[in-house]
Amino acid sequence: MAILENVVTAVEGAEVLDRPAQAIRPVLDRLMRPPVENALSGSWLGHPVHPLLVTAPIGAWLSAGVLDVSHGDPVAARRLVGFGVGCAILSAATGWSDWRRTTGPASRVGLVHAVCNGTAVALYTGSWRARAAGNHRLGRGLAFAGAVFLGAGGFLGGHLAYALGVNVSRAAEAAEPAWR
């Protein structure tokens, strides 16, 4: 789709994002020293952990969305949203760990990816709180808005991996997995 290509091209060239990236990296570098860096990067597993972990919040939130549109159990939907929020915290940590080694267009796309996903987490957190307070209609609305940002963040994450090759190695070049 041409519109998505235009958006990604604009983000890749948005040098205005370089300054915030330069401000964030030293903070992450202080927080993510070994062994934290090794745990978050997935070096112990032989490949990045972030793609594996993001499936938990995405799956939980999409499942809650199915319950919302099918008028399913609101308690189960609230629990799924809360579970997704909890899982998103660790997913975000692994993503920031991967991002801090990027530069140029990949860094810019990664930063917007993080902002989209962070917005999704904030909206889903609001959804969980609204549902816990008994306001299921607001909770469903916030979750729907969160899903929009989650989709945008997911698209950018896919672009990072598949188009820009961030944290992707050819099989022959990949490190030997730790369990062999």
118 to each of 85, 115, 175, how far by Cα in Å?
Answer: 10, 5, 31
pTM for this structure?
0.91
Spatial contact of 108 and 20, defined as CB atoms under 8 Å apart: no
Q: What pLDDT does 172 receive? A: 42
Question: Which tens digit of pLDDT belongs to each residue from 83-130?
Answer: 999 999 999 999 999 999 999 999 999 999 999 999 999 999 999 999
Q: What pLDDT does 137 receive? A: 97
Q: What pLDDT does 176 receive? A: 55
Q: Is residue 61 part of a domain?
A: yes
Give the number of other Cβ atoms within 10 Å of residue 52's Cβ: 13
Question: Which tens digit of pLDDT belongs to each residue from 138-156?
Answer: 999 999 999 999 999 999 9
Q: Is residue 172 part of a domain?
A: no
Q: Is residue 5 part of a domain?
A: no
Q: What pLDDT does 66 receive? A: 98
Q: Is the pLDDT of residue 65 over 50?
A: yes
Q: Is the pLDDT of residue 175 over 60?
A: no
Task: Name the domain count of the chain.
Answer: 1
Q: Is residue 55 part of a domain?
A: yes
**For tokens 């609305």, what's the residue?**
141
Q: Is residue 16 part of a domain?
A: no
Q: Which residues of 25-40 are buried (b: 16+ CB within 10 A; e: fewer)?
A: beeeeeebeeeebebb
Q: Is residue 40 part of a domain?
A: no
Q: Is residue 39 part of a domain?
A: no
In this prediction, residue 1 has a pLDDT band, given cuts at 50, 70 and 90, of confident
75 to each of 86, 116, 134, 143, how far by Cα in Å?
Answer: 17, 27, 10, 14
Quote the domain boundaries for residue 116: 51-166
In this prediction, residue 47 has a pLDDT band, given cuts at 50, 70 and 90, of confident
Q: Is residue 162 part of a domain?
A: yes
Higher pLDDT, 47 or 69: 69
- Percentage of residues of the chain with pLDDT beyond 90: 86
Q: Which residues of 133-162 are buried (b: 16+ CB within 10 A; e: fewer)?
A: eeebeebbbbbebbbebbebbbebbebbee
Q: Is the peptide bond before 35 cis (omega within 30 degrees of 0)?
A: yes
